[in-house]
Chains A and B, each alone.
Chain A
């Protein structure tokens, strides 16, 4: 069947098996292999992607369920060749070891910061509760997400204090 959705800002038109899972369509049909499959039952979070800015396990979703929606995968986090602040802080905080959980962690964190720009540590931990990591003990990941939130807040503050074109004319 035909399916159309937006993946990482690009409209995709595909012919898919109606029973295909989203994770398979992303990985096999679109070649977006950054999304990982760690359990196939929605328990580990490695396959997390954003559907209209909400974090979901792509192994539990049928691809047809994202018809007309906007999908963000790890490949779409960087913009114009520049990494997302989350990616930068994951690197800087030593939040990456084997890397298999990293794409899913990043997207759960992205969904959190989109919805809640100033999360507390407890809120960060709760947002990552469905993403398992066996390497890091989570501490560096939680610190990276907190730092990314702060960086984004600083950037917003800087934007707000800069006189905009209209404001400056008065």
Chain B
């Protein structure tokens, strides 16, 4: 599948490796938080609001309290009412309005936390929540951001419904206005559920010394610690957060949704408490990819060169702010990483509504704004009667371009290469020109380009990672790092990097996950920073260990360090390797002869944040009678720099495309006219299953032009960025329509056809 064979000097990096804990997973032995048992553990169940907006007038918990087996019942009446931000990673972090409480007194969406029962088992806790009686004074609902910003709309939070508004403007339009084409289109994207198979869960314990311990499948133990410690006014050393195995996240477990409330229940009951949400609760009461509406206005010269790009986005934050301000900002920061445009203006607004809370979801901001841009680009191509691939090639960024908005280099950006190689492999020209056919079934092809990032480094914020590497007496090593495996093999990537550098087998490298008491600081597993920044930290920490090995060997072998080198698993003399010492023997000698240890700690500071790119091609078959769309062929091309674990890089694309097809065609967290969620978890939320997935080919563009380990760049997020617009563009190609409302359900297809859109 690769465009580049594994460079000959790489032994383990670049090849196929099973995920490190695969054998434990296929035998059912991996203990997820839902499988953990602690002595005297209690079980919690939440009571969620059934009303989208209302004041709680009365809450009667007496029957629930009286149920045998119930240990405690909590609500706003007996819990702290301090407001907090569940998103804040760092104390004092900006853009984190504190607008949420443990239990609501005013509920702001159907799914808001009203109360919780703690009982001796989950069944009793589940029965008891039904015995809590709540009386609401219902208030008006605001189901869209647009409604929420209208004059006279009821205020959801004291500061008003407009959570944030911003403008970004760079450059000036270069007009040779004669013959310029203008296209304006508005694209809307839906609320989406992350659909990690593992439901949200958290376990907490509080002991008599005042130590709070939280076991959580989280993406950031230090962020969880910050939120919980600040809320309960504990010192940071009193809160220990331990990352436990995670059955998928996709951003859904990035924010600290359950940690504060679970910690609170453990502190009050002085017993371990586990909270598990059911699927319906996961869909409505955790967070969703936020609903967006983006108006894109493009001015393009007759030869297809972008002259000016104006974007106006409206982002639905839902009931609480959490990460929405950053989310909207991300939407503004993608397009200048993708296209050269003389003038770019982005106006963004973020509004509260009485709907499920928006928050981080795989590449947040990018899939939404790229969908809008790429659907608009196809409209431009049609307007100019230009091939969509040609139009994009005319405008895509080049390697070493500088993003005018961030002022940062895009690095060895290979998006153009992705497009040209992909178009060839897909047979784009012929398939695009082929007659689409009349009649009931229409075939079409679509292309879309996407841009993302590599970490969180910006002009005014650093990115870094600290790791410790210690060598054992047999030459095996332990990488002690705050990693958060979400399931895609980050730990395996780190193993491979360390093994490659030290010339040892990956089986002799162990890697820790994050534990806020034991492992060095790291921001967490999000923002496409793990391979690029943490991977580079693993690489440079391995280099530091090699230095340390040479230093120790010089003393043990009584030779100057410059005469020695690190070979595979041993230190040897440079000339002829006449003398050598295995790593194990060296560590033993260091310990028993020198009284020294072989352990290093290193901080890697990122100095670049290049663009991550993917270009994707879809073929669809649309049934004009039923409106059903089937994706029949798919090609994804990724500028990944260097695949560290080839099969898992491919796996990231395949999974991301499953998610993107759902985003395009069928996934939407639906609410009725009254703002109440459709009942039933996956019954009313459709993710793409095995029979509906097309054959997907993955083509990797590899090079070593960037600063990641061995040139590696991020994969997991960028892989889903252009998927949905590739599918929608294929549908518009098949039907001659201008479908712009995602997900493009059969109903929307039929509505467009009955409006007379499309070509007979």
Contacts and interface: CB of A to CB of B under 8 A. Distances in A.
Interface of A: 27, 32-41, 43-44, 46, 73-75, 77-78, 83, 87, 90-94, 96-103, 106, 122, 124-126, 128-142
Contacts of A125: 690-691, 693
Contact of B278 (A40, A100, A102): A40
A99 to B, nearest CB: 3
18 contacts: A33-B34, A40-B681, A43-B682, A87-B23, A96-B22, A98-B246, A98-B488, A99-B21, A103-B28, A125-B691, A125-B693, A129-B690, A129-B691, A132-B195, A134-B655, A137-B653, A138-B654, A139-B693
Given A75-B27, A137-B657, A99 B487 contact: yes
B247 A94 contact: no
Given A40-B681, A44-B197, A135 B248 contact: yes
Contacts of A32: 28
Contacts of B489: 97
B32 A100 contact: yes
B654 A136 contact: yes
Contact of B25 (A75, A102, A130, A142): A102
B197 A98 contact: yes
Nearest to B246: A98
B28 A35 contact: yes
B30 A137 contact: no
Contact of B198 (A100, A106, A142): A100
Nearest to B658: A137
Contacts of B23: 83, 87, 91
Given A44-B279, A128-B690, A87 B487 contact: no
A96 B197 contact: no
A34 to B, nearest CB: 2
Interface in B663-699: 680-683, 687, 689-691, 693, 695-696
B10 interface: no
B687 A134 contact: yes
Closest 5 CB pairs of A and B: A34-B28, A98-B487, A100-B247, A137-B654, A99-B25
A125 B724 CA distance: 23
Given A36-B247, A125-B690, A132-B195, A98 B28 contact: no
A46 B487 CA distance: 16
Contacts of B693: 125, 137-139
B689 A100 contact: no
Contacts of A90: 22, 26
What does DSSP make chain B's interface, helix, strand, loop or mixed?
loop
B577 interface: no
What does DSSP make chain A's interface, helix, strand, loop or mixed?
loop
A37 B34 contact: yes
B198 A91 contact: no
A146 B24 CA distance: 22
Interface in B154-188: none
B676 to A, nearest CB: 18
Contacts of B248: 97-98, 100, 134-135
A97 B26 contact: no
B488 A129 contact: no
B197 A101 contact: yes
A142 B695 CA distance: 11
A130 B22 CA distance: 22
Nearest to B687: A132
Contacts of A43: 279, 681-683
Contact of B655 (A44, A78, A137): A137
A88 B282 CA distance: 32
Given A96-B25, A139-B693, 18 more contacts: A32-B28, A33-B31, A83-B26, A87-B23, A94-B648, A96-B26, A97-B19, A97-B248, A98-B486, A99-B22, A100-B198, A101-B197, A133-B197, A134-B195, A135-B248, A135-B651, A136-B651, A139-B654
Contacts of A138: 654, 658, 689-690, 693
Contacts of B35: 27, 33
A135 B654 CA distance: 8
Contacts of A142: 690
Interface in B627-679: 647-648, 650-651, 653-659
B199 interface: yes
A96 B18 contact: yes
